[in-house]
Amino acid sequence: MMENTLLYVIVALGISIVLNIILKKIGISQIIGYIFTGTIIVYAFDLRAAVHSHELELLGEFGIVFLMFTIGLEISLAKMGSMKQEIFGNGLLQVGLTTLVVYLGAHYLFALDTKSAIIVALAFSLSSTAVVLSYLKSSKEIYTPYGQKATGILIFQDIAVIPILILIGFLTSEAGESIYVILGHTLLSAFIVLLLLFVLGKYIVTWLLHFSASSELDELFMGSVLFIVVGASLFASFMGFTYSLGAFVAGMVIAETRYHHKVEADIAPFKDILLGTFFVTVGMKVDLSVFMSNIGTIVGLFVLVLVLKTLLIYLVLKFSQSSATSLKTALSLSQVGEFSFVIFAVASAGNILDSSLVSLLVLVVIFSMVITPFFITRINDFVERLIKESDIITDMSQLQSRQNHVIVCGYSIVGKFVTKHLEEFDAPYVVVDNSNKHVKEALKDDIEAYLGDASKVAILNALNIEKAAAIIVTLDNIDKKRLICESILKHSKNANLIVKVVSLEEKKKLADLDITVIVDGKVEVARVLVERMLSCQLYKR
């Protein structure tokens, strides 16, 4: 048996490598290669009986565990507070509205019973964190406005999985316990989990990482990280929650320490391998006979869900975002996510959903996840052709003849002061910002401003950056800041690049780039304070 298992692993590894090399050359996500690998392995070795084994499900789930851990690394408590509108505002509206509409359709149009309709609605309200976030991070679209909105909603969806599974447990409960009792036990468990992980866990994690880092042994540090991730996941599972919740909270705890960047870099290979394993297990669930006999129904349901979720998410965001950002976010989240597999499996085990219905729904989810990587890479082009923002200037053709101009990246607080000082020196300048709101503010202030992402080659060409006197980067987000600096220096090595930083940590993150001038806000404030002190009368007689 062990020999056969090793054979399956080696063959799967070989198939996935070949497939992904081919798909990479034609611009298709490696996710497709992993899914196809799983399907090929099942039919090549007749492993359909092992598809639903607990061990295989557990192995695949740990891919999601490490993905959630890396999300947690990027979402510290401070950042979650700053993204509360994206996470708790947009996320709650999206999940709630989608669940309600899908429930009404499933119950009244497709004649599903109440319990089944609720489960299907909740499952279809979720999007694919694995597919969408993997693309957003690899393409660096995660730093764009629509990427931030999509990430916030995905985080809420991942958190929402917990009460969804609790609800399914309540629906399948035969003990007749009151929902208030179940909710009481759940809230108590959640309080204990958060208390231990955030309060005690923070001290333990910080000490363990400091101890292992001081040893200067990479394998010891990596072992400590794996221990933290798996330990937090098992603890959350023991308390009745998902493995993913424990990993997510562990990531958030580490995000509050000074080791989070090193941890993120070291954990990346493990996360990618295990995430690939998850998609292989997804591909193994593809029943080709059921798919071929119900292909019309599967495609029809997929299109229906895609259109419905796109419309609902667009409506949720349209009140606070531009049409383009709203539509990009809606399209990126229009698929059904991997946590639906877990929901369907639990509901099927509790005899809420019929097994034949579960088989059909699983194929809809798989089809959705297979199709998504094909169109998510084309969302920007599609939306730009469909929607023209009439109130924002995006035509930069007049800049092609511009020379010796200053380009100000970002029109937030610092950017506004920069433009005022440039006007005092009568220096020609233009503002570029990726925020619809900031560009509108600049235009209102009679400033020449353009909507665009300064990290994109097309925007840099349009700004005629090679003829610019200087580029001043005023953004606060260090990841966006570095991305823009990398793009500018790659595009024009001789560019006069002036960048604002607010901490020594930010300065270190940019130290490897050939930036002309790095202005440390705290150092400059200290210098000005001393200058003002020297210019005033120190002693009054």
Encoding tokens for residue 46? 């007749």
* Calpha distance 74→479 (Å, rounded): 11
The pLDDT mean for the chain works out to 81
Does 174 or 13 have the greater pLDDT score?
Answer: 13
Q: What is the pLDDT of residue 499?
A: 92
Burial of 412 (0-12, 13-18, 19+ CB in 10 A): middle
Question: Could you tell me if 450 and 430 are in contact, meaning their C-beta atoms sit under 8 angstroms apart?
Answer: yes
| Lowest pLDDT segment from 183-187, 372-376, 518-522, 537-541 | 537-541
Answering whether pTM is above 0.75, one says: no
pLDDT tens-digit series, residues 215-264: 777 778 888 888 888 888 888 777 766 677 788 788 888 877 777 777 87
Secondary structure letter of residue 398 according to DSSP: G
pLDDT tens-digit series, residues 501-536: 888 888 888 888 889 898 988 888 888 888 888 777
Question: Could you tell me if 11 and 44 are in contact, meaning their C-beta atoms sit under 8 angstroms apart?
Answer: yes
- Residue 472 sits at φ, ψ, to 5 deg, of -110, 120
pLDDT tens-digit series, residues 425-453: 888 899 999 887 888 888 888 888 888 88
Does 343 or 182 have the greater pLDDT score?
Answer: 343
* Calpha distance 33→534 (Å, rounded): 67
Integer CA distances (angstroms), 175 to 179, 182, 241, in order: 11, 11, 20
CA angle (50, 55, 56) in 5-degree steps: 55
Q: Regarding beta strands 429-433 and 497-501, do their DSSP bridges make them parallel or antiparallel, or are they unpaired?
A: unpaired
Q: What is the pLDDT of residue 418?
A: 93
List 500's β-bridge partners, or say none. Answer: 519
Question: Could you tell me if 39 and 292 are in contact, meaning their C-beta atoms sit under 8 angstroms apart?
Answer: no
Question: Could you tell me if 417 and 405 are in contact, meaning their C-beta atoms sit under 8 angstroms apart?
Answer: no
Output the DSSP codes for 176-209. Answer: ---HHHHHHHHHHHHHHHHIIIIIIHHHHHHHHH
Q: What is the pLDDT of residue 9?
A: 77
Tokens 């006007």, located at residue = 423
Residue 327 pLDDT class (50, 70, 90 cuts): very high
Q: What is the pLDDT of residue 290?
A: 84
Amino acid 106 reads: A
Q: Which domains does the chain carry?
A: 1-50 (no CATH), 51-386 (1.20.1530.20), 397-535 (3.40.50.720)
Encoding tokens for residue 406? 């200053």
Residue 333 pLDDT class (50, 70, 90 cuts): very high
Query: Once rounded to an integer, what is the mean pLDDT over residues 313-340?
Result: 88
Percent of the chain whose pLDDT exceeds 70? 86
pLDDT tens-digit series, residues 15-38: 888 888 888 777 666 777 888 888
Q: What is the pLDDT of residue 129?
A: 83
Encoding tokens for residue 151? 């990430």
